[in-house]
Amino acid sequence: MVFASSAFVRSFSLSSLAQGAIKNVAIVGGGQMGSGIAQVSAAVGQTVVVVDLDQATLDNSRKVITNSLARVAKKKHKDDAAAASKMVDDIVGRISWTKSAEEAASTSDLVVEAIVENLEIKKTLFAKIDAAAPPNTILASNTSSLSIGDIAAATNRKDKFVGLHFFNPVPVMKLLEVVKTDLTDPEVFSSVTSWGQEIGKTTVPCKDTPGFVVNRLLVPFLFEAVRMVERGDATPQDVDVAMKLGAGHPMGPFELFDYIGHDTMDLIMQGWSGRYPEETLFRRSEAVKKLVAEGKLGRKTGEGFYKY
């Protein structure tokens, strides 16, 4: 009976994708990014499964999504508490949570990975997902810095592998970078682009180059600000004031560095510098490495370039 049910669900998933519609989505990673992707997907009527190995993370994901939706519903239904409550219940009702990536992938048209920025961990995960997912299921990574082609190499469906780079917080940020490799099927790329637009994002097509569009410009810019301070050309406070008032940036580079996290930033540059050692813009920062070693990772630890 279990096998018959599984076969039926797989058949349904394949037929829905064959018609060009992505309706069943699995999100692997129950952190802030994964929860945000799950929220915006379920909000437009899609069936969503959130996957994480840690039960506490799954429980927190449900809480984060519910609270986020409650704020949205309160604004939309200011004078109707019942309607607001129903909106939250309806959307959350389309989301389920599980520890099994294979189980989630087996019924999905699209699997989006949003886990730690580690190539080998991602490749191990996708090898398992590839084996469990129906043949037409599209696989996607939310990586902000790793090569999509390198991750896809762990699978047997390189033509159905893309990058879907969301920005944090996902329910608020409108941009979605849709990344294709040289092996990505044009129809697959078109399908995930349409899906991105369906969940309310403005999509930008990207090639599989370091950092795609946004981070290829943003990350070197932030590290160049750090190098200015390392040389003694300016202080973090002065750089932040200058860029906010002179360039119209909502946050200064050091404020943004602290917001993103020093460990994340150093990990990105570590990967890029290793892959492109001749590119001086990809050099790691001694000041950042020191802060990471001291556990001063920015806002999340209470101290980075600033104290919080």
165 is catalytic: yes
- 142, 165, 255, 285: the catalytic one is 165
- 61, 144, 191, 285: the catalytic one is 144
- 41, 61, 215, 285: the catalytic one is 215
C-alpha torsion 299→301→304→308, nearest 10: 60
User: Phi then psi for 170, rounded to 5 degrees?
Assistant: -60, -45
Q: Which of 143, 264, 268 is nearest to 125 (CA)?
A: 143
- 177, 191, 255, 285: the catalytic one is 177
C-alpha torsion 259→272→282→243, nearest 10: -30
Cα separation, 64 vs 56, in Å, equals 12
Query: Quick count: other Cβ atoms within 10 Å of Cβ 299?
Result: 15
SS3 category, 108: coil
- Tokens for 28, please give them: 């692997």
- Tokens for 79, please give them: 């004078």
- Tokens for 23, please give them: 């309706």
Q: Which stretches does DSSP call E strand in 95-245?
A: 95-98, 110-113, 138-141, 161-166, 175-180, 202-207
156 is catalytic: no
249 is catalytic: no
Q: Find tokens 């997912």 and name the residue.
A: 133
67 is catalytic: no
Cα separation, 214 vs 211, in Å, equals 7
- Catalytically active residues are 144, 165, 177, 215
